[in-house]
Amino acid sequence: MEYNLNVEGETVAVSVQEEDRDRFSARIGDREYSVEKIGLMDGLLILSVNGKQTGIGIGDPDGGRDVVINGCPCFVNDDSMQPRGRGGRRPAGKASNMVTPPMPAVVVRVMVNEGDTVSEGQPVAVVSAMKMETTLYAPFGGRVVSINAAEGDKVSPGDILVDIEKVGE
């Protein structure tokens, strides 16, 4: 079986051969791996990779998995498969062309109104998460088409708080 996985933003192509119920071999580039299922213990998946045993923590957010190795989490998803959740959890880069919070947050205030003209870099909203405030700025100059969030609303990355229509392009 062939996998095309995205590991923290980089593609890793894996060719997998199932050996028996508890074992598969894999090739990544010119590296060969033999992987054995040792067991599951206290929420950790214990694998042996080329004879070296590792306990791996696995979380399953939307659209992929958080794989924790040696205390470091790392996000893996399978681009070739159907998304099982609401799509990729993490934006590919900074979603710098939208007014959206970088983390789940609560809206502290919205500083513009519908119809306002805003310039690039103008603060348009402040959100708060865990007692830390973050200001969101207009990604470009334009006209505020709609305000989609009010003070006290819980918002998530991807939610567009203020819709801005580019002007003069």
Q: How far is the CB of 62 from other proteins (least distance, A)?
A: 6
Q: How far is the CB of 77 from other proteins (least distance, A)?
A: 8
| CA-to-CA dists, residue 119 to 78, 141, 143, 146, 162, angstroms | 39, 4, 9, 16, 13
Choice between 4 and 146, CB closer to other proteins: 4
- The 3-state secondary structure of 141-157, one letter per residue: CEEEEEECCCCCCEECC
Choice between 81 and 145, CB closer to other proteins: 81
Provide the Cα torsion 46, 48, 54, 57; round to 10°: -40
Choice between 154 and 166, CB closer to other proteins: 154
The contact set with other proteins (CB under 8 A) reads 3, 5, 7-8, 10, 12, 14, 16, 18, 21-22, 24, 26, 28, 31, 33, 35, 37-49, 51-62, 65-74, 76, 78, 84-85, 102-106, 128-132, 134, 154
Q: How far is the CB of 145 from other proteins (least distance, A)?
A: 27
Among 164, 167, 6, which Cα is nearest to 75's? 6
Two tokens, residue 35: 């992987």
